[in-house]
Chains A and B, each alone.
Chain A
Amino acid sequence: MFKLHFKDATIWRNMIASVEKILDEGVFAATPDGISLRALDTSHVVMIDIFYPREAFIEYEVEGERVDVGISFSVLSKILRRAGKNDELVLGVEGNNLLVEFRGRGSRLFKVPLINLVYEKLPEPRIAFTVKAKMLGSIFRDTINVVKLVADSITFKAFEDKRLLIQGEGDIASTEIELSLEAQTLLEMEVESPDSAKYSVEYFTYMTSASRVADIITIQYAEEAPIKVDLEYTGGGRLTFYVSPRAE
């Protein structure tokens, strides 16, 4: 038995739209606590970690210890793109198919074949972060959209006075964006040491759909180490990206 009923289908629509850019396929593991997914992209540069607790669902039924749902994200995303503003989402399994149902004005049901994939529990990367900044989803998205216009790399620089400088250096143009507590563009900021780190902006552009529906976004990084981007959703859901630093 596997049945999940979720209030706002557009959240899943936007989350999976981001995941689809990084992973071809993957396994959701549904346990009595909630549903999760952790996977690496083919080049092992990006990791995705999703957890949605059972309390976030209107209805959450999972039989036994764990139900594995292997899925192709391009197929799932294509279907979820049909989700409208007032649609609720119901997921179920029937035989070898995933059932995706939108309930809004009337109901629409899709059947997607499940893929036989082995569930692997990947360890979480262990990184001693030195900088932590919290901001609204919209600020994060705007920042990425600006940087991607001019550059293919993005540099984060933290200062002791709780400012975060985000720089994009391109062939022709460059950009610099300052976020700070003072200007209220940051909600929280912790600086253990004023470090800077550089990443490919490409991976950040993949996060923009997911950040559209996120309430709060937290970034954590350290000098020449991976960055962790946490997207928080209503009901306690969380989508985390880890991105390796750019090799120079």
Chain B
Amino acid sequence: MSIPPELCARCKGYKRLCKLPRCPILESFQAQVRTYMRLRGLDAHGSTPPSILVGEFGYPKVKIYYMVPVGVFGDNARLYEDPVGWSIRGESLANIIKFRSELLSGEVQVSIDKPEILYEKEFGLAGLSVDPVDSEVKLAKPPIPTLRFDGLTKPLGPRAPANTIKITSNPKIPLQVEKIIWDDLKAVEAIRDLYFNNVDIYTIQRLLSLGFLGRIHRRRIVPTRWSITAVDDTISRILRSKLRGRPEVQESELYYNEYLGNRFLILVKPGPGRFEWIEIWQPRSFWVRSSSKPIIWRVEENTRGEATAMDGGFSAARLAVLEVLSRVNRIGDTIIIREITPGYYAPVGNWHIRETVRRTLAKPIAKNITIKELKDVIKTKIDYNPEDLISRIRLLRNEVKLTDYT
């Protein structure tokens, strides 16, 4: 069976548009990656960074993967799950894959409507910690040495069912987090509180996924990939509503950056607050291996935050843009071009989009540029015909306004 690469660029292993139970691209890829294991016997000791993944297969009975780097303790363990740090240091794709493959997972099956179990068993609390937490995982059988990939979450290393998981040091839980998990607050309100108290977004995602947020009797465990986009979208909605009625940015600014074989060219210009997301998948890049020409995927979002498609990558990027606009308290139209080169040979989660866009927006490479100048920039930065690309961008077209008719 052949699957059109256009479908894969849109799906990214997430929506299973090909209707196969598991993504064949991911399956064939994971077998090629070697895992590194330091485990002898069935007892694994180490500090979780923290890194806890909630799976989605079998929902509402899902698996929780509690991850420890075997034999690595304290601050040294932080490296194994550190999206912000990885991004700042410019960690290579090979290194990130290596870290993830060294994380051993103990699996526990839980029912999503019983989040209190994670609390009682204490290991759920490790997920709230800002520092690594020493843990002991006793496995029921030797782990399978594979690495599993997914478009949204970080790769998942060798894993085996766990008999017991114990934490042996105290999790360091920030005060605001400690307070909020006992509040009978809707999840949306809790996320707002945490975010404006500067709790890191990855901690909020973990809190939501481990069932620590929401009205007390209605809490649920949420699969990690769902919680990632849920948190991105919730915070974006909050930021958007705060920006409503603010003045527009005064000049257009162009930004560029690249990381992990992904290039981002971002234009923020005066406008009422719309988004346009254009992905260019180069031939032989990850999801479109079989394609001989670049594949384009696009999402548009209007001023009310209604998008033409759900896309986890777009959600992550949009959040980073709205954060910057909120800082200057202005609205604007944003065009994000993401080019994926064959250098991005393994998907490691959408965190890198969020973090790269955040860093990209730190400093513009040009201001108030004309279409012609933009064409020249595209020529040097993006491997795609500039005329064709610009003609595809809706937000660059001359728009007819009703005020022109009075």
Show the binding face of A for B, using Cβ within 8 Å. 21, 24, 40-47, 123-127, 152, 202, 224-226, 242, 244-245, 247-248
Contact = CB atoms under 8 A, between A and B. Distances in A.
Contact of B405 (A46, A226, A247): A226
Given A42-B273, A43-B271, A226 B400 contact: yes
Q: Which of B245, B400, B402, B406 has the most CB of A within 10 A?
A: B402
Interface in B359-406: 394, 397-403, 405-406
Contacts of A45: 399-402
B240 to A, nearest CB: 11
B400 A244 contact: yes
14 contacts: A24-B244, A40-B402, A41-B272, A43-B303, A44-B401, A45-B399, A47-B402, A126-B406, A127-B405, A152-B308, A202-B302, A226-B405, A247-B397, A247-B400
A44 B405 contact: no
Contacts of A46: 402
A202 B308 CA distance: 10
Given A46-B402, A125-B406, A226-B405, 17 more contacts: A21-B304, A41-B272, A42-B273, A43-B274, A43-B399, A43-B401, A44-B272, A44-B402, A45-B401, A123-B406, A125-B402, A127-B405, A152-B308, A224-B400, A247-B398, A247-B399, A247-B400
B401 A244 contact: yes
A44 B403 contact: yes
B402 A244 contact: yes
A247 B403 CA distance: 15
Contact of B402 (A42, A226, A248): A226
Contacts of A126: 405-406
Nearest to B394: A247
Q: Which of A42, A244, A248 has the most CB of B within 10 A?
A: A42
Nearest to B397: A247
B400 to A, nearest CB: 4
A187 B398 CA distance: 36
B397 A43 contact: no
Nearest to A248: B397
List the 6 closest A-B pairs by CB distance, nearest first: A42-B272, A125-B405, A247-B397, A44-B401, A43-B272, A244-B400
A38 B400 CA distance: 19
Nearest to A22: B304
A123 B274 CA distance: 26
Contacts of A245: 400
Interface of B: 244-245, 271-274, 302-304, 308, 394, 397-403, 405-406
Nearest to A224: B400
Contacts of A24: 244-245
A138 B323 CA distance: 44
Nearest to B245: A24
A124 B272 CA distance: 22
Nearest to A124: B406
B20 to A, nearest CB: 21
A152 B306 CA distance: 14
A34 B272 CA distance: 32
A245 B406 CA distance: 15
Contacts of A123: 406
A223 to B, nearest CB: 12
B308 A242 contact: no
Contacts of B303: 41-43
A225 B402 CA distance: 9
B269 to A, nearest CB: 13
A24 B308 CA distance: 20
A124 B308 CA distance: 31
Contacts of B394: 247
Contacts of A125: 402, 405-406
A248 B393 CA distance: 10
Contacts of B403: 40, 44
Q: Which of B244, B394, B398, B401 has the most CB of A within 10 A?
A: B401
Contacts of B401: 43-45, 244
Contacts of B402: 40, 44-47, 125, 226, 242, 244
A127 B405 CA distance: 7
A44 B333 CA distance: 14
Contacts of B398: 247
Q: Which of B274, B304, B397 has the most CB of A within 10 A?
A: B304
A248 B273 CA distance: 20
A56 B282 CA distance: 62
A71 B397 CA distance: 33
Contacts of B308: 152
B299 to A, nearest CB: 12
A224 B308 CA distance: 25
B388 to A, nearest CB: 15
A235 to B, nearest CB: 28
Nearest to A25: B245
Q: Which of A21, A125, A127, A245 has the most CB of B within 10 A?
A: A125
Nearest to A242: B402
A244 B398 CA distance: 12
A248 B244 CA distance: 28
A68 B135 CA distance: 65
A207 to B, nearest CB: 16
A161 B394 CA distance: 35
A242 B401 CA distance: 10
A117 to B, nearest CB: 10
A171 to B, nearest CB: 10
B171 to A, nearest CB: 40
A24 B406 CA distance: 23
A127 B406 CA distance: 9
